[in-house]
Each structure stands twice: as structure tokens, then as C-alpha cells.
Structure 1
Amino acid sequence: MTDSLASKGSSRAAAAAAKRRRLTAAAARVLHEKGVERTAIADIAQAAGVPVGNVYYYFKTKDDLVEAALAEHTAHVTTLTDDLDRIPDPRARLKGLVDAWVAQRETAARYGCPTGTLAVELDKRDPEPSGGLDRAAAQVIRRLLDWAAEQFRELGVPDPDGHAVTLVAGYQGMSLLANALRDPDLMTREGDRLLAWLDSVGD
């Protein structure tokens, strides 16, 4: 009896964790596509395939879902950089990052950079209602900057932090322009410029 109850409890916990993961992934996707103000909790519930009433068991407010979406973006950056860290050469790692950005050109042209657009929107809210979400968005970008700076540091270039800013700013700029112009090919062209720049640094 005890083993059976424990098994049922474990199954319920696994199902709850899976549902929360679906909601988190859906929040990241829907908030990117629609923005914070135009997104309702019902939109996220529908995208996750979860009844609206169930959402409140996991997330009490929409801001809680925004925070979960930011955690999803952080996890994506971590997974990406962990994969790139398997590449022995730091220059190749940085070029792999650019390739990953360009691979998302269709999404960027339609919706912009997931973290960048969210950071801009959250920054426009009053400081108190934001609950620090604007700072949380900035931390996702900071994580990427720190990783890029470490690669430039390994390359031995002067001012690795400045080089990291140039690289990430290049990505944010080309995402913004591709989105404004609805031109995914712009991401490809500007990505090629970033790759050529990376080939030149540290020489």
C-alpha cells in the first residue's frame, strides 16, 4: 500500500512538473510573439494546452509568467553556450554563436530578439509595478555578454568586455532592423559581417 501511494504521488509530481514546464515554454513563446501587454493568461494556457483555471496553481499573476519566461530565456542561453563551450577554439565558439543567431532569422524578422524585445517593453513600465522584471531581463543579456567577453579574453584581445558589447549590440541591431523591415536576409548579411569581424580580431 505504501509503495502504491508513493508511486501515485511520484506520478502526480511528474505530471505537475511537466505541466509547469509546458506553461513556462508557452509563456516564453507567446510573450515574444505578442508582447507583455497584449498577452492574456488565457493565451498562454491555450498555447500550453492547459485549462486556464489550472494556470493559477502554478503562477498567481501574469508577472509570474513573465518571470518564468525570462528563466526560460536564461536556460536557452545557458544551453547554447554550454554546447558552444565544447568547441576547443574561442573564435569558433563566437562564430558558432553568430551562426545560431542567423539560424533564427525568420523568427527575428517576425518578432525581434526574444530577450531584447522583452527587456525594452519591461523597461517602459513604471518601476514599482515591474517588480524588478526589467532587471531580470537585463540579467539574461548580461549572462550572454559575460560569456562572450570570456571568449575574447581567451583570444587575448584588448578590452574583451568592449568587444563583447560590440558583438551583442550587433546582434540586437540586426534583429531590430530585420524585424522593422521584415527582412530575414538582413540577418544573414549582417551575420556575415560579424563573422568577418570575428576573423579579424586578435590578429
Structure 2
Amino acid sequence: MRAETQILKERLSEIRDTLLELEFIKKDIKSLRESYNSQEKEILTESMFFNRLYRNYIRLFIIDVFKLIGKKEDHNIQKLLEFCKINLKRIDWENSISLQELNDLSDNLSTISTKFEQIEGLRNKYYAHNDKRKKTFKYDISLKEIWEILEGLQNIFSELNLKFDNHHWYFDIQYTTPGVINNLYKFKKIRKLTLNGYGKLDSSIEIQELLKIMRG
């Protein structure tokens, strides 16, 4: 295997692992905000733990996605595309790829790059560092825009990887929403039912009611 081919193989592997991790983090973030009914969401909004967890997942996502777009990062996707262009003839491609196709991938990257500066600012001034001038940085980026950036990076990677080793990566991973929130909500209902009946001479907690809660 030629050196250029080995280098590309290793870089693709590193980027793939980062993209997979980002997809899992995205699913975790969405599960903390979107995957529960209004009653279960009470647990999330009332708990400082889950609020901190949500904020720290956002922090981790920004730091990790910056690994793929930061100009000085070793596994910057733009650097990867430039490496492929320079070494186009020295890389052993499973499926042939032209310089124009690589330029098209660069254009796709440019299309999703409009919010890269926002991500860099958040990463440098708030999350990876505590910049004393951070409050002068005005950011305006939504989770929807962050997910679109991730999807764009995944698509670029998938197209390039398909040309390299004929493996097409799909990042629509299997994900099961954690059951802990539902279990905590059940416990909250059981606790309320128990406390309401506690101390009443004629009170008794119906087993069937408890079973309904536990099985719900």
C-alpha cells in the first residue's frame, strides 16, 4: 500500500469515528428535549442534573464538531479534501474519482460553512476556553442548524469514502431512547400516591393502582 493511500485510510478512520460519536451525542441531546411526553418532561425541567447534562452535551458536541472544521485541526475535512486533490494520482481508489468531483465536495463544504465561525466562537470563547472577552462575541446558531452541519459533513465523508474503499457509510444509527426518564416519572407518581395516603386512618394504597403506574 502506497504511503498516500495509508494516510488517507487512517484519516478517514479518525473522521468516521468522530462523526459516529457526534451522531450519538446528537441523539442524546434530542432525547433530553424531544423524546418525552409533557408529564415526563417535568422530570427534565425540574432536575438540575438533567439540565447540566443537556448543557454539557451541547458543549461536547461543539468541541467535537470543531475537530472536523477547525483550520488548525489535524483531521479538518477541508484539509482531507486538499490532501486528496494533491495526491489524486498517488492514492489507490476503489472507485475512480476526478478532480472535479473533489472540487464539488469542497463546494458542498463551503455551502454548509456559513455557521462555522459561530461554532468556532462558541468553542474558543465559551467551551474550550474561558475568554475574558467572551461576552462581546454575539452568537446566533440553532440546534437545527448544528444538525444540518453534521449531516453535511457526514454526506461529504460518505461520498469520499465510497470512492476510496467502496463502503458507503450511513449515519442513521439505531438508537433507543433511555428509559430512565420514564422510570423516574413512574417513581414520582408512586411517591405522590403513597404520601397522599400516608397517615390517613382509612387509607390504603391499591396494589392495582401501583401496578398500573409501574406497567405504564
TM-score of the superposed pair, with normalisation by structure 1: 0.33
Q: Work out which structure has the larger RCO, using CA pairs closer than 8 Å and 6 or more positions apart in sequence.
A: 2
- Scaled by the length of structure 2, the TM-score of the pair is 0.32
More helix per residue: 1
